[in-house]
Structures are given as C-alpha cells and as structure tokens.
Amino acid sequence: MSAPRPPMRARAEILRDEMVQKDRIAAALRDGPKTIPALAEALGAPSHEVVCWVMAMRRYGQVEEKGKADGDGYFAYELKDAGGTAGAPAKGGSA
C-alpha cells in the first residue's frame, strides 16, 4: 500500500513559488541537463509544479531543451549560455 498523496496546490500558489524555485532549478542544472522528473526529484517537488517553473524559465530564455526527447518522451533542459546563443544578433551596431 502506497502513502497517500498530498492534495494538489492551487495554480496561484505554485506560481508564487516561481522566483524561489527558479534559483533552485538553475543550481540543479549547473551539474548538467536534467529532465522534468529528475528536477522534481532533486527539488523534492511534484513534476506538475516543476513543469510550470521550467516552462516559465524557458519562456524567458533562461533554459532550453537539449537534444531529443528520451524514450519516455522527456526532454532534458539546460541553462542557456549567459552570454547569449549562437546566431543571436549582436548588440549595438555601427553608425
């Protein structure tokens, strides 16, 4: 018999934790790319909450997928290069 699952938190509650969790996610990704389940395990948080936080980080260009999905359909996420990505337009310009 498995342990009872805690009740799901409200979306607003999950999003309120985003700023704290993004730092924890970034720290976990410094060791290398990780899937959502691996991040959830590292953070001790439910996968559905980690998805919200990682997708917010993805939207704001802080993380990106690495390679193809694994056999279970999960992508590994990695921190984006702080200096920008290859092919990004250069800042500034000539007059």
Residue 15 domain flag: yes
Q: Is residue 92 part of a domain?
A: no
pTM: 0.73
Residues with Cβ within 8 Å of 51's Cβ and at least 6 positions away in sequence, in order, are 36
Orientation angle between helical segments 47-59 and 18-29, nearest 10 degrees:
90
Would you state the pLDDT for residue 16?
75
Q: What is the pLDDT of residues 8-28, one digit of tens each?
A: 887 777 777 788 899 999 999
Residue 20 to residues 14, 15, 24, 27: CA-CA distances in angstroms?
11, 10, 7, 11
Cα 12 to Cα 91: distance, rounded to the nearest angstrom? 36
- Residue 2, pLDDT score: 67
What is the band of 89 on the pLDDT scale with cuts at 50, 70, 90? Answer: very low
Which CATH number characterizes residue 52's domain? 1.10.10.10
Q: Is residue 54 part of a domain?
A: yes
Give the range of the structural domain holding residue 53, as residue numbers without chain letter: 11-79
3-state secondary structure of 48: helix
Tokens of 87: 């092919």
The total domain count for the chain is 1
